[in-house]
Structure 1
Amino acid sequence: MSHTSLLSSLTRAEDRDDWHALNTDLDFRKEVVLACRELVDTAYGQGDELALWNLHDILARIYDDDFGPPGVDRADKETQPIHRDIAAVLEKAVLERELADITDDEVSSYPEDPDAYVTWLKARIGDHGSRRHPLYREYLRNEAGVEEFRFFLAQESNLDPRFDDILALMQLGVSGQQKLELAANYWDEMGNGDPADVHTAMFARALRTVGADDAYIAKNQLLETRISGNLSACLALSRRHYLKAVGFMGVTEYMVPIRFRDFVDGWRRAGLPEDGVRYHELHIGIDAQHASGWFKNVVKPLIRDDPRSGREIATGALIRLNSSLRYLDAVLAHLRTATERPN
């Protein structure tokens, strides 16, 4: 099997018997793994951008299945053996790419006292180039119009519509302060029981306000957007990555208030409808509280229980910071280029 035919193999099986036949065909599964390795080599070893797109399209399709709604039609389709064969190879390559940008000193030179660790981690976040990025501080705040906000929100759909499910997954197997903090965060995502205030519903209203429907999103998402979304799914779905996910999502919560303040100011400057900005305005205050609770009730207990957790948490934080910087750079470059094109 060529790596170019790997994507089509994901849709090859239609029913229970098809999937059973593929799952029990060990020669086929070996071909799939070899094709994945070839794809990894082409994408990362040879720097082929089309192969990188294919790699992340395949992962995104698997994650769409993982996060997809349940139903009778899925009840007897056992997709996991082959999906996990593929994801194991591709995820390893994606994470190795991220880890290559992180030095040992960045994740090992941390204090083991919980309070000092949080201070150290916040300083790392504050000093990073993605903390106060010009996409937010300058472009969205002062320049963007409706077309630019439409494009930007299409990119942001890589994480926001799944954040509640990610929080639900992160609660598995944890207890005490961690579980309560994650649960409180999740309940806020659920609008504290009011269907109209569920955060995914509010984000969907923001998308509708600027006309970013599913077809527009699928057509306009950038490669770095796809990578960013796949990273969050990868870390959330695997329990072995829980500590990295704590760092990754903690950074996300910590950076939201200042970023969304710029977004809201730009939205109103552009004269866009108030109903569409409610999601972002609400998160300015809520995520400031959640970030504080995350560091106090999730990060600190982990460091207190086992200081070795600090390395994994810091690694997840830096994966988020570095991938966010690439993502924001790519979005800003695209918007600047699009603005400069002649009509």
Structure 2
Amino acid sequence: MLLPRARGPLSGLLRHLLLEGTEELAELDATARGRAATMPALSALDDEDLQLSLWMIYELSFRGFDDVDDRWESAPEVAGLRAVLERPFEQALRDATTSWTERALAVDGDVADQVFALAAGFDEGPDLSKFIRKEATPDQVRHFLRQRSVYHLKEADPHTFVIPRLTGPAKAHLVELQYDEYGGGRSGFLHHELFATTLRQAALDDTWGAYIDDADAPTLASSNAMSLFCLHRRLRGAAMGHLAAFEATSSIPCRRIAAGLLRTGFGEDAARYYDEHVEADAVHEQLAAREICGTLVRTGDVTARDVLFGAAACLVLDALQATALMAQWEDTGASDLAEAPL
């Protein structure tokens, strides 16, 4: 994958730094610090320039870019910029989730009960899976798949970074869950490979990063939140809370999306990725919430508030993604979607 096109001055200067060197570092640093200092509350979540810049920096720790030297991953210039941009992003996530976190903390029971109550009671945003099941056109389904490819083509990778940050039973259970995500060690059954099959069956490009240039801000923010949580030891509780909420809200929506894929004519091979998650995630939600998060809180390794912050962030960002997609579908005709360079 090559570096994506810039979405504004910040990502433009970062792109130049990664491709050409440090000539414009001072300007990039000033731009980043100025943006971070003046950004209104919550606006970091829908700022494409900031989210793309963070996404490019995080991607250096995953598969990298064909046109960027891998040594940039650990370069102090990039590390400093990442810290500057993460501050308004993390603060926006905390601001957007405070009420949900407090509500969950008031629920009687352990942290797993609180995560499940949070997921069950969360009511922001449209129900995207119901729309895909009953009403979405084939072009809307393709649009949905293109946006989701930004995460699903590297599915499970962010949470794997947390494994060395845990010990004891919680670590063992996370390895157990991730083993399933990676297809039980069988090539062809890795979840990101199953999603690649879905893309091909929908006549879409299954190449990693193929649609990054058209990923909207909520899609980038959703991916970035996982990287933020999973690449910082201090946020390991939020990372596992995010995982628990992700799994707890996956099974039923996946059943609906699979049905929507069949209804719109994409076939059983296209639906296989979602079919796999119907049963797997029903098990994973218990594993993540009770055995991983529950153990971490009981042993005092993390707090319930840490876990619920991550869980609420997962739900809020998913709602923002759904809202953005539905808004675009309401404003764009089916023929326009089909022709859009997504």
Partner Cα separation in structure 1 for residue 336 and residue 296 of structure 2: 54
CA contact (8 A) 1:159 1:232 kept: no
How far the C-alpha of 1:77 sits from its partner, in A, is: 4.9
Partner Cα separation in structure 2 for residue 186 and residue 76 of structure 1: 28
Query: 1:11 matched to which residue of 2?
Result: 16
How far the C-alpha of 1:262 sits from its partner, in A, is: 0.6
Cα gap change, 1:98 to 1:269, in 2 (>3 Å): same
Letter in 2 for 1:135: L
Which stretch shifts more, 239-248 or 164-173? 164-173
Letter in 2 for 1:33: D
Cα gap change, 1:158 to 1:170, in 2 (>3 Å): same
Runs of 4+ in 1 over 4 A off after TM superposition: 28-31, 45-50, 73-79, 340-343
Partner Cα separation in structure 2 for residue 233 and residue 219 of structure 1: 19
CA contact (8 A) 2:100 2:118 kept: no
Query: 1:331 matched to which residue of 2?
Result: 325
State whether structure 2 residue 297 is matched by structure 1 residue 311: no
CA contact (8 A) 1:108 1:311 kept: no
> TM-score when scaled to structure 1?
0.84
Q: Which of 196, 202, 207 is matched with 1:204 structurally?
A: 196
Query: 1:91 matched to which residue of 2?
Result: 86
Letter in 1 for 2:291: N
Partner Cα separation in structure 1 for residue 15 and residue 70 of structure 2: 18
Letter in 2 for 1:170: V
CA contact (8 A) 2:243 2:288 kept: no
Query: 1:56 matched to which residue of 2?
Result: 51
Cα gap change, 1:62 to 1:279, in 2 (>3 Å): same
How far the C-alpha of 1:145 sits from its partner, in A, is: 2.7
How far the C-alpha of 1:332 sits from its partner, in A, is: 1.5
Q: Which of 169, 177, 181 is matched with 1:185 structurally?
A: 177
CA contact (8 A) 2:251 2:278 kept: yes
The 5-angstrom pairing of residues 1-343 of structure 1 reads: 4=9, 7-14=12-19, 18=21, 22=22, 31-41=27-37, 43-44=39-40, 52-68=47-63, 74=69, 76-77=71-72, 79-103=74-98, 106-107=101-102, 110=105, 116-129=110-123, 133-137=126-130, 139-213=131-205, 217-306=211-300, 309-339=303-333
Please give the per-residue CA displacement for 1:235-255, whole angstroms capped at 9, x wherever unaligned.
111222111111111100111
Structure 2 unmatched ranges of 5 or more: 1-7, 338-342
How far the C-alpha of 1:192 sits from its partner, in A, is: 1.1
2:97 alignment partner, SS class: coil
How far the C-alpha of 1:279 sits from its partner, in A, is: 0.8
Partner Cα separation in structure 1 for residue 42 and residue 295 of structure 2: 43
Letter in 1 for 2:171: K
Letter in 1 for 2:151: L
Name the structure with the higher helix share: 1
2:161 alignment partner, SS class: helix
Structure 1 unmatched ranges of 5 or more: none
The number of aligned residues is 327
Letter in 1 for 2:57: I
CA contact (8 A) 2:13 2:28 kept: no
Letter in 2 for 1:251: A
How far the C-alpha of 1:336 sits from its partner, in A, is: 2.7
Partner Cα separation in structure 1 for residue 124 and residue 192 of structure 2: 24
Please give the per-residue CA displacement for 1:296-320, whole angstroms capped at 9, x wherever unaligned.
2111111211286101111111111
Partner Cα separation in structure 2 for residue 49 and residue 112 of structure 1: 28
CA RMSD after TM alignment: 3.2
Partner Cα separation in structure 1 for residue 99 and residue 121 of structure 2: 18
CA contact (8 A) 2:45 2:221 kept: no
Partner Cα separation in structure 2 for residue 276 and residue 79 of structure 1: 38
Partner Cα separation in structure 2 for residue 195 and residue 247 of structure 1: 28
Please give the per-residue CA displacement for 1:211-259, whole angstroms capped at 9, x wherever unaligned.
3325862353222111211112211112221111111111001111011
How far the C-alpha of 1:273 sits from its partner, in A, is: 2.0
**Identity of counterpart residues, as a percentage?**
21
Partner Cα separation in structure 1 for residue 75 and residue 183 of structure 2: 32
Please give the per-residue CA displacement for 1:44-96, whole angstroms capped at 9, x wherever unaligned.
3796999x22111111111121111599x846556431121111111110111
How far the C-alpha of 1:12 sits from its partner, in A, is: 3.1
CA contact (8 A) 2:41 2:92 kept: no
> TM-score when scaled to structure 2?
0.84
